Amino acid sequence: MVINGKMFRSVVFHALVLGCGLIMLYPVFWLLSSSVKPTTEIFTSKSLWPTEFTFQHYSKGWFGLRNIQFGRFFLNSIYLCLVAVIGTVISSSMAAFAFARIQFPLRNLFFALMLGTIMLPGHVTLIPQYIMFHKIGWVDTFLPLIAPKFVGDAFFVFLIVQFIRGIPKELDESAKIDGCGWFTLFFRIILPLSFPALITAAIFTFMGTWDDFFGQLIYLSDIKKFTVPLGLRLFLDSSGSSNWGAVFAMSVLSILPSLIIFFLGQKYFTQGIATTGLKG
């Protein structure tokens, strides 16, 4: 086989793109490798491949805090995320259906207001919200993190509106002729057809809730209610530089759910980002 100029250019090109990508990901690989290296090797060995694999960092980390295990943080995080996903998908798709398909007074005003809330820095509402939740005794429960998910998220309402607008309106008409009301139309026709948009919303809600360090930080103070990000931070503060291996091991575990969901739902990711600019 003769290697011509074009092929050579192509090989160089791929090598470059791949090489840069791997350099970018190097810290992540290093994190993975450090979590299974013997402690003495973490900061001394230049090689990513450990001389021997050890999982002691994982067990040390998992049981590393007194009176509580990382498993508890995972259960709390998973619970929060699942409830958040259900709440967001239901409420956002309801609002989206109203905006995309039903004519009612002030619709355009509300739609504009909703888009406005996307641009609004969260800090402006943060303190009164906190005071409100404090007054009704919700601080240090999961409720301030869960309840707001049941009123729809402007980002996802917008995403689903865009999607519903692409569904032929003739379907609505014929459903109405067959005697369907708005509810049947929503549940039987629009929701099933919007499935890709709903999955996108579900995925991003899961990831967003999983990584919502700020909200969890201000609302949760009882260690039994701690989530994975809070647990990780606590662990970093309490063992920190004395036990990097275990900190890294728990870090790896904490990003695992995001990675798994990403690889399972990759195509929805790309679509979701391209339509709404999520996760900038």
Partner 1 sequence: MQKYKTYAAGYLFLLPWLIGFVFLYLSPIIASLYLSFTKYDLLTAPKWIGLDNYKAMFTDDYRLGDSIKVTFKYVLLSVPFRLAFALGLAMLLNQGMKFLGLYRTIYYIPSLLGGSVAISVLWKQVFDKEGIFNQAIGFFGIEGPNWIADPRYAIYSLIGLSVWQFGSVMIIFLAGLKQIPQELYEAATVDGAGIFRKFARITMPLLTPVIFFNLTITLIQSFQTFTKAFIISGGSGGPINSTLLYSLYLYIKGFTFLDMGYASAMAWLLLIIVAAVTGVMFLTSRYWVYYSDGRD
Among residue numbers 119 through 178, which ones bind partner 1 (CB under 8 A)?
Answer: 119-132, 134, 148, 150-152, 157
Tokens for 228?
């994975």
234 neighbors 247 (Cβ within 8 angstroms): no
Q: How far is the CB of 53 from partner 1 (least distance, A)?
A: 20
In the bound state with partner 1, the residue whose beta carbon lies nearer, of 82 and 180, is: 180
Position 7 contacts partner 1 (CB under 8 A)? no
Q: Which of 3, 4, 46, 177 binds partner 1 (CB under 8 A)?
A: 46
In the bound state with partner 1, the residue whose beta carbon lies nearer, of 1 and 112, is: 112
Contacts of 10 (CB under 8 A, 6+ apart): none
Contacts (CB under 8 A) with partner 1, residues 51-70: none
Four-point Cα dihedral 196, 260, 29, 245, nearest 10: 140
In the bound state with partner 1, the residue whose beta carbon lies nearer, of 75 and 260, is: 260
Contacts (CB under 8 A) with partner 1, residues 10-29: 10, 13-14, 17-18, 21-22, 24-28
Contacts (CB under 8 A) with partner 1, residues 183-212: 186, 207, 210-211
Please report the sign of the dihedral spanned by the C-alpha atoms of residue 43, residue 48, residue 50, residue 54: positive
Amino acid at 34: S
Token look-up 């050579």 returns 8
Question: What HEC string does 90-139 produce?
Answer: HHHHHHHHHHHHCCCCCHHHHHHHHHHHHHCCCHHHHHHHHHHHHHCCCC
Q: How far is the CB of 11 from partner 1 (least distance, A)?
A: 11
Position 31 contacts partner 1 (CB under 8 A)? yes
Contacts (CB under 8 A) with partner 1, residues 245-274: 247-248, 250-252, 254-255, 258-259, 262, 266, 269-270, 273-274
Q: How far is the CB of 97 from partner 1 (least distance, A)?
A: 5
Q: How far is the CB of 134 from partner 1 (least distance, A)?
A: 6
Can you tell me the distance from the alpha carbon of 121 to that of 110, in angstroms, rounded to the nearest whole number? 19
